[in-house]
Chain A
Amino acid sequence: YLNLLLINSFILLLFYSKIFPYFKIYVDLNYTVPCVRLLNATHQIGCQSSLSGDVGVIHFLESEQNLDWVLNTGHSPPYMVVLEGANFILSSMISFNSSGRVAGVAVIEPNTNLPGDFSPHTQCPNENTGVYTEQYDPAYAHCNRTLWNPLGNGLSYEQFHFPIFSLKDDNDTQVIRQCFQAHNLGVNGSAPEYPLCAMQLFSHMSAVTDTPTCIRRNKIQNDFSISPEKVCDPLGGVNVWTSTRLINNTDKGHKKSESVVIAAARLDSRSFFFDLAPGAQSSASGVVALLAAAQKLCFFFFFQETFDYIGSSKMVYDMETQQFAVDMDNVHSVLEVGQVGLRSSNSPIWLHSDPVSRRNSSVDEETAAKNTNVNVSEPDASQPLPPSSFQRFLRARPLPGIVIQDHQSVYTNRYYESMFDNPENLNMTYPPDLSPDEQFNFVTETAKVRGNKPSCPVTLCTVSQLLYGFLIKSKNPWFEQIIPSDFASRLVDRPTNFYTGVHLQKSEASFLVEYILANLTGTVVNVTQENCKNQRENEDDKDNKYFYSYSWVQGALAPNSSDRQSFCVRSSVRTSPAISPAFDLELLTSSDYSTWTESRWKKITGRIFLVASHDLEMLTLGVGIGILLLSLLLTYIISSKADILFCSGREPTNATY
């Protein structure tokens, strides 16, 4: 019976082999997350592969000692280096970059966070676009006084000329490991023999050099091509804002006798790899804190800030040029919530402020800490502000303001702007064996610490559910109820991606914040679906659309059915475009505004296969040419003597007449 089975499989293999030789050769990788190319006014950062993909012999890097094989002694360069997360360090990557023997790198994401720290961001985030420039106060410029992200290694801002992908530790990676162990390890220390296991990665990026170049090429494509193909897109998205006081949205510019306190939080994050930005401590913590306090505040904003303050610079620009519902004269002060997730229950909340503007006594008075029921503390008076949206407001004019953080001085976030800034970083743990719904309702310790403000009647449940929704799964019962049905597919079974993304799309985080804000600050109104979608309360209503925005949301599942009881929510939540003023003003070489763009690409994929030795390939070619020449020679000879050979009293067959 086994024999029969064997024969069957051979035959089936034959059948499939004749029709699909591709599957006998290649194993396509299912989960591939690339590092993409980003450009700004002067540089390009990130990774690039060649147009037809980069091929390299796989080598698993065990430790730094193994580097020598890849860089110097290995017999079959170029190599595709496969690393565990712990070996993904700056010095190795720099040596690969300059080596010329490395075709690419694949990083295996560990299942739990690394024991040490890993921050691929720079040590002084948004160094040149904050308020601390040489003109403002040279003592504070370039993080002279306080280096905010001391653990940063700047890996995200390097330029690599080979592809770098991130892989999960799953079946595909097991296949790679097995292939490597079967073929690429030499026996008894000798060099491994062909065929060797190799990997090919495709991540060709269309844009090159810097932003002015790629924008210029975009223009050329637009003007002269029948089907224009852009090469890059400016980063950005939307800023989400709302006010609990009625503001006429179409009435731009200064509003008489309006004095608002702006409450702000950062809405985006990034990591070394594309679209893999959990941003738990760097942005989600601030977003959740601000959302949880939503009912209490007046005017509040969520900005896209990671890449040189795109969101807040645009908002300040709009306010200054009378393109927003209020202007800078209406702004009384700014209260910003920064990274607040890593606080333990005893430590205070730190209120950071700007020492330079506080030299002005009127600003100083406003800023001085008011009496609160929360355990707050102020850092040293000469410490500058951490990177924050408030800095962009200060660039416009001196304003009182504070930035709330959970650390006194430098960041305590060990994984700032990396793929490890996830719930584990916040010590958010759930007891095992909980179903997703049970996890959703479970109040974690993290939530308790964050939500425990006795003067604020905020439910712990809301904070916990927000944390779950942003950091574990955005597809949960509450989020499903508060979004319109068109966007139901944007909720996913994984953590929310906080990556800023290109300005043409709303990031996952901003889309969620928009509807959560509407749910928390808005009211349910009894309006028909048609009226709701047309932004009015009834057929005659023409004015409400200037003050409110209406959205028709899915609502809860009716019991025992798959239909939802949808309803209309009226709120003042609006989105304003977050694209750097540099693009509107065409100041693409500006150092005052963000000029970040993201390259476009066609194909991101990877596959593994065996490669044969060069000698064998040349031998095949030689044999082929030999056979061709031999047959040409033989045929010529035979055909020239055909009439002798085939003559037997009858007419010749191959006579050359």
Chain B
Amino acid sequence: MTAAVFFGCTFIAFGPAIALFVFTVSREPLRVIFLIAGAFFWLVSLLLSSLVWFISVQISDKNSLSQQKGLLIFGVVLSVLLQETFRFAYYKLLKKANEGLLTLSQEETMPISIKQLAYVSGLGFGFMSGAFSVVNILADSAGPGTVGIHGDSQHYFISSAFMTMAIILLHMFWGVVFFDGCEKQRWWAVAAVIISHLTVSCLTFQNPEYVASLVPTYVMLFLMGVWAFYCAGGSLRNLKLCITCTDKDFLLANHRAR
């Protein structure tokens, strides 16, 4: 539409991710490295799934609509499964790397905990996934036109941006829950993450009914957020302590943090 829409949609889509990156990741070089490596893993999973998709489309009958529809669903499901597989692979790699790092360094404690790794890798997945979902749409939003000449909904850009924001945050939460589940051998948690990811991806088939796809996604986001909060060690008590903001713990913590 114009530069205004371009920047607006970019900030909507990447705002939370940028904020998280700036305040929690950017100062720690180790976290940055693992974030980028996480993004790379996601990229490889996308490459593999798109390779399979491409070959299957070439083989298929291009004129048959039902075949193409089926292929699309197959492609989405395959991509989700591959992404989660690579998340697991990354988990395994990080476990090994952490042991290696421990033996290399002189310190006694691990330089980066598995919880932090979960968070950072989830964010890395989220960044890359968000970039691939939305960058081409952002590029077209910078031009003078908006969607609609063929009768499509006008809200294409803004709903894509909100969807992307949700997906980035979801990837982060999924990362935390997934790694936690793997650590504690709670395989039902891992399965829940996979099912949740599949659900959200399949919800996008509702487009252009943007309300039908965005609202459930945000509900899922909230639920996963709560679950990730608990996995990361939070609790209702801690939350209450923080919100009241006037107790000694808070003042002490602030003092310590400085």
Q: Which residues of A contact B (CB under 8 A)?
A: 4-5, 7-15, 17-19, 21-22, 24-27, 55, 179, 195, 197-198, 200, 607-612, 617-618, 620-625, 627-628, 630-632, 634-636, 639-641, 643-648, 650-654, 656
Contact = CB atoms under 8 A, between A and B. Distances in A.
Interface string B104-141: 00000000010110010000000000000100110010
A617 B20 CA distance: 26
Contact of A620 (B8, B136, B232, B253): B8
A269 B15 CA distance: 60
Interface of B: 1-2, 4-5, 7-12, 15-16, 18-20, 22-24, 27, 65-66, 68-69, 72, 113, 115-116, 119, 133, 136-137, 140, 143-150, 152, 154, 156-158, 161, 165, 204-205, 207-208, 232-235, 238-239, 241-242, 249-250, 253-254, 256-257
Given A617-B5, A624-B7, A648 B234 contact: yes
Contacts, number: 192
B235 A648 contact: yes
Given A617-B5, A621-B5, A15 B72 contact: yes
B79 to A, nearest CB: 12
A636 B156 CA distance: 31
A5 B250 contact: no
A609 B144 contact: yes
6 contacts: A25-B146, A198-B144, A610-B147, A620-B4, A635-B19, A651-B115
Nearest to A618: B4
Given A25-B149, A627-B15, A12 B68 contact: yes
B249 A644 contact: yes
A539 B257 CA distance: 99
Contacts of A7: 69
A109 B124 CA distance: 57
B154 to A, nearest CB: 6
A30 to B, nearest CB: 16
Given A644-B241, A654-B24, A620 B72 contact: no
Given A55-B144, A620-B5, A644-B249, A628 B19 contact: yes
A529 to B, nearest CB: 47
A15 B143 CA distance: 21
Contact of A644 (B22, B152, B154, B242): B242
- Secondary structure type dominating chain A contacts: helix
Contacts of B116: 653-654
Nearest to A652: B233
A201 to B, nearest CB: 12
Q: Which 4 pairs of residues, A with B, have the shortest CB-CB distance?
A: A609-B145, A624-B11, A624-B8, A620-B8
B238 A200 contact: no
Contacts of B22: 632, 635
A307 B235 CA distance: 86
Nearest to B118: A653
A650 B233 contact: yes
A612 B12 contact: no
Contacts of A11: 68-69, 72, 205
Given A14-B207, A24-B147, A654 B119 contact: yes
A634 B8 contact: no
Contacts of A21: 136-137, 140, 147, 156
Nearest to A53: B144
Nearest to B254: A640
A198 B149 CA distance: 10
Given A627-B16, A653-B233, A654-B24, A644 B250 contact: yes
Given A645-B238, A651-B113, A179 B250 contact: no
B140 A628 contact: no
Contacts of A627: 11-12, 15-16, 165
B8 A623 contact: yes
Given A13-B208, A14-B204, A622-B8, 17 more contacts: A8-B65, A8-B68, A10-B205, A12-B68, A25-B140, A25-B149, A200-B144, A607-B145, A620-B158, A621-B7, A621-B8, A628-B19, A644-B241, A644-B250, A645-B238, A648-B233, A653-B113
Nearest to A179: B149
A623 B12 contact: yes
B146 A610 contact: yes
Contacts of B10: 624
A610 B149 contact: yes
Given A635-B24, A639-B24, A648-B238, A10 B208 contact: yes
Given A628-B19, A639-B24, A653 B232 contact: yes
